[in-house]
Amino acid sequence: MPLVTAAALIVAAGRGSRASGSGLPPKQYAPLAGRPVLTHAIAAFHAVPEIQRIAVVIHPDDAELYADCVRLAPDRLLAPVIGGATRQESVRLGLEALSADAPDLVLIHDAARPLVSPDTIQGVLDALRNHEGALAAQPVADTLKRAHGDGTVSDTLSRNGLWQAQTPQGFRFALIRAAHARAAADGRDDFTDDAALAEWAGLGVALVASPRRNFKITTQEDLAMAENLLRSNEPRLETRTGTGFDVHAFCEGDHVWVGGVRIAHDKGLSAHSDGDAPLHALTDALLGAIGEGDIGQHFPPSDPRWKGAASHIFLADAAQRVATRGGRIVNVDLTILCETPRIGPHRDAIRGRVAEILGLDVARVSVKATTTERLGFTGRGEGLAAMAAATVLMPA
Ligand SMILES: Nc1ccn([C@@H]2O[C@H](COP(=O)(O)OP(=O)(O)OP(=O)(O)O)[C@@H](O)[C@H]2O)c(=O)n1
Ligand SMILES: C[C@](O)(CO)[C@H](O)COP(=O)(O)O
């Protein structure tokens, strides 16, 4: 295929009256599996590299709702376009806005179809190599009845060759723009989709089989169905916790490593590695949470590779083990026990360093310190001890 430019036009200017309830936003802004319906649709197009630009048509009252949907706006998103009173009019206004820098192809999509897949989008794009227009659609699977006005059956229709139209519906941009402009000029405002308008204009339109899950959210029931579908794809996670404890004796030296931070001190810590007991305790807490033994098993003191090693290596390895198994660290909590050095002045630096090693927000890392009231080996200043707890979410 020669190099072509392709844009997506997502129409989101409807009022969603069939799905509305008092106090609810229009359906395209309703929350679905943690983010607005419209955000799902935008993300699907963003996942297709051939789509270079995405324009969204919105209702003039929805500017704030729209801004909330695109806080993490993908780079290919254009400024929103204000829509019209019907879907057809909203599409026409969107096409006019895109014509300032016209793409070769345009894929028109309902914001109300959040479960569209990048494969379906790609399928419609591919069909445009050989056709002026192409739409995602699904063969009719149920028997069709025509009804009398009183709700009784008049007759049964053949479903042979019948398809249900979905979106995206893709077209050569210049052709669909001209068709929409002509329909408006002729006073034709009754097209419920762009493929019907394209057929009226004499364009050849191909059907691209698309799954049932690309359904349009029309009612609250549809919204609940979409929520269930998305939630059922998520792995079930369970909470696991682990604890760790470590001690290192003081020896001659001029600094100690505590929680990944070098602290000047009148002693050092005796160890095969750098002796960072807090990081060792945290490593054990993570390994404990995922049932993968302890630090000594993975980094034996007998192994010369770990002589003088920086302990962030051990902690990062444990975090990687959590991630490799599909897990996520929720929070870690560290308690450091010593008379000296004083930990308070270094607490923020330690929190920051641990957060950095684990790739966590600093709010998920807690660092506490205490003396042992001059009791025991820490009280006598013979060594430094650390206790840690970690919580992780793991696939069940
Ligand atoms: N004036 C309009 C009407 C509809 N749409 C968009 O067209 C898509 C399909 O329309 P539909 O499901 O009929 O949405 P609504 O018109 O919002 O719903 P309702 O008819 O229940 O009010 C939706 O993404 C809707 O936001 C639009 O951009 N402009
Ligand atoms: C365009 C469309 O999604 C194709 O099925 C549909 O026609 C739009 O919804 P409406 O309820 O007809 O406005």
- How would residue 75 be classed by pLDDT, with cut points 50, 70 and 90? confident
Protein residue with its CA nearest to atom 28 in ligand 1: 13
Quick check: CB of 27 below 6 Å from ligand 2? no
Q: Encoding tokens for residue 144? A: 């069709």
Ligand with an atom nearest the CA of residue 222: 1
What does the pLDDT look like over 291-341, one tens digit per residue? Answer: 999 999 999 989 999 999 999 999 999 999 999 998 999 999 999 999 999
Return the pLDDT at 236: 84
**Cβ 262 vs Cβ 255: under 8 Å:** yes
Q: Please return the burial class of 16, using the count of CB atoms within 10 Å of its CB with bins 0-12, 13-18 and 19+.
A: buried
Q: Encoding tokens for residue 33? A: 């599996």
Return the pLDDT at 74: 67
Tell me the C-alpha distance between 382 and 286, whole Å: 27
Fold of 237-395: 60s Ribosomal Protein L30; Chain: A; (3.30.1330)
Q: Please return the burial class of 390, using the count of CB atoms within 10 Å of its CB with bins 0-12, 13-18 and 19+.
A: buried
Q: Got the DSSP string for 126-139?
A: HHTTT-SEEEEEEE
**Distance spanning both ends of the chain, measured CA to CA:** 46
Quick check: CB of 357 below 6 Å from ligand 1? no
169 CA closest ligand 2 atom index: 1
Give me the residue spans of the domains in the chain: 6-233, 237-395
Q: Is the pLDDT of residue 345 over 60?
A: yes
* 248 known member of a binding site: yes
**Cβ 177 vs Cβ 95: under 8 Å:** yes
Tell me the C-alpha distance between 245 and 225, whole Å: 48
Between the CA of 87 and the centroid of ligand 2 the distance, in Å, is 8
Between the CA of 112 and the centroid of ligand 1 the distance, in Å, is 8
- How would residue 34 be classed by pLDDT, with cut points 50, 70 and 90? confident
Strands 255-258 and 153-157: unpaired
Q: What share of the chain is helix, strand, coil (3-state, %, to 5)?
A: 35, 30, 35
Question: Which among 138, 166, 193, 218 is the best mutation to test ligand 2's pocket, defined by most ligand atoms within 8 Å of the CB?
Answer: 193
What does the pLDDT look like over 39-69, one tens digit per residue? Answer: 999 999 999 999 999 999 999 999 999 998 8
Ligand with an atom nearest the CA of residue 168: 2
Between the CA of 270 and the centroid of ligand 1 the distance, in Å, is 70
**Cβ 314 vs Cβ 299: under 8 Å:** yes
Return the pLDDT at 71: 74
How far is CA 344 from each of CA 336, 352, 371, rounded to the nearest angstrom? 10, 14, 11
Between the CA of 92 and the centroid of ligand 1 the distance, in Å, is 14
Quick check: CB of 219 below 6 Å from ligand 1? no
10 CA closest ligand 1 atom index: 24
Return the pLDDT at 73: 63
Between the CA of 192 and the centroid of ligand 2 the distance, in Å, is 6
Tell me the C-alpha distance between 119 and 122, whole Å: 5
ipTM: 0.94
Quick check: CB of 214 below 6 Å from ligand 2? no
Omega before 25 cis (within 30°)? no
Residues with Cβ within 8 Å of residue 135, at least 6 apart in sequence = 124, 165, 166, 167, 168, 169, 170, 193, 194, 195, 205, 206, 207, 208
Tell me which residue has tokens 């641990």.
Answer: 354
Ligand with an atom nearest the CA of residue 10: 1
- How would residue 2 be classed by pLDDT, with cut points 50, 70 and 90? very low
Ligand with an atom nearest the CA of residue 16: 1
What is the CATH code of the structural domain delimited by 6-233? 3.90.550.10
Q: Enter the pTM of the model.
A: 0.69
Q: Shortest CA distance to 81 belongs to which of 53, 59, 105?
A: 59
